[in-house]
Amino acid sequence: MRLNSTLIAHAEAALAALLKFSSPADAVLSRYFRAHSALGQNDRAFIAETCYAALRHLRSLRARIEEAGKAQKQEPERKQKPEPETRRLLLAALFCHRGWNLAQLEPLLRSGDSEWLRAARMLDTASWPAAQRCDFPDWLYEELVPTHGDDLETLAASLNRPAPLDLRVNPLKISREEALQQLEAAGIKAAASPCSPLGIRVAGKPALNRQPLFLEGAIEVQDEGSQLLGFLVAPKRGEMVADFCAGAGGKTLLLGALMRSQGRLYAFDVDQKRLERLKPRLARSGLSNVYPVLLGSERDDRVRRLAGKFDRVLVDAPCSGFGTLRRNPDLKWRQGAGDVAELAQKQTAILEAAARLLKPGGRLVYATCSLLAAENEAVTMAFLAAHPEFSVLPAEEILRGREISLPGSIPQNADGFLRLFPHVHGTDGFFAAVMEKR
């Protein structure tokens, strides 16, 4: 596409709104696009992808701009009228990370821009602090060092790349092979996901909301790692199952499909808006065994009345979301160590409440899309210490029983927990502990 001053002005305005970090990035962009409805699909894609590139690499881009500016001989008038940071961030993101060259950027360049952009891209970053090379805040880098060590820069690089588009087929309506054939016929390049037996990985970012497969509920957008959590729960037909933090219901729909729409599946959540987003998806899915329930809190009386009645419970707990930085790069700049500590307390309370639902012999799966031990192992081990009636089931053995094998993960998961990483598995970062009530 060809750039013009109007498009870059929109990108600057959108990035300026994002850099306030007052709301999730996807919500900020959604509001911006609603307010500027004349923007076409390609323009919106350019704005979103460029702003997200700036957010992913915000710390290193700022360092590049600063160091390149020091090396550049600036004209006196440029010193007096410094330009907005957003413009330089966008140009640097395009030139250093999105593969645009100076000829493509030429309509936007001002005097001296070519020189500082070349200098910014050619900087030797070897002497930078490791956290800056990783584009992490210092506190997050320090939290991840004990668990990732020498592998941390590789993990960071994978988290700083855009995520692929993963789909899940609804086995009640279509097989994966049939879905692949229909996507190919529609001109959409796709292939079977490497791990999930229901997963499809799509090339590029095609618009799916008008595709017949999507409208009919035959496919849903769902990261492959998220799909694997459903196979850890492994619900059976006729069972009583709970998705305790159901949200918009992606995992709920998978659990219902694995149950073949038989038994009772409760979708609990404390957020009415999230449960509202489940309704149209549920209608498309064809499931008849799902019961959305709005809770006042994890201690809601309805939870207490159902204690001891469930065969399986999934707790996909609210978390920092640092495993989803490929999709939500703003999270690392919007949150701090204090937020993680508060989340760990909430996760502990939710896990305690959800565990009461299980009958003896029942299965409890605690999961997050976080990379932090404070939200994962620490919460799980404290729960196990307080509840000796629960024991860990090896997650990878459960997956192998479904003929699902994971690349390069056995040493990481030797304690029985499941850990997924984008640089190893091609998924978002996930943690899961499968526990059985004796």
Active site residues: 369
Name the burial class of residue 116, with classes exposed (0-12), middle (13-18) and buried (19+) by CB atoms within 10 angstroms of its CB: buried
Helix, strand, coil share (%) of the chain residues, nearest 5 = 50, 15, 35
Phi-psi group of 416: left, alpha or beta (phi > 0 → left; psi -120 to 50 → alpha; rest → beta) = left
In the sheet with 190-192, reading across from the earlier edge strand, the strands are 190-192, 199-202, 165-169, 219-221
Whether 134 and 220 have beta carbons less than 8 Å apart is answered as no
Chain centre distance of CA 257:
22
Write out the two tokens for 228: 């694997």
CB atoms within 10 A of CB 141: 21
Whether 15 and 86 have beta carbons less than 8 Å apart is answered as yes
**Residue 292 carries which DSSP code?**
E
Write out the two tokens for 185: 């016929």
Strand pairing report for 199-202 and 190-192: antiparallel
DSSP states along 376-437: THHHHHHHHHH-TTEEEEPHHHHHHHTT---TT-TTTTTTS-EEE-HHHHSS--EEEEEEEE
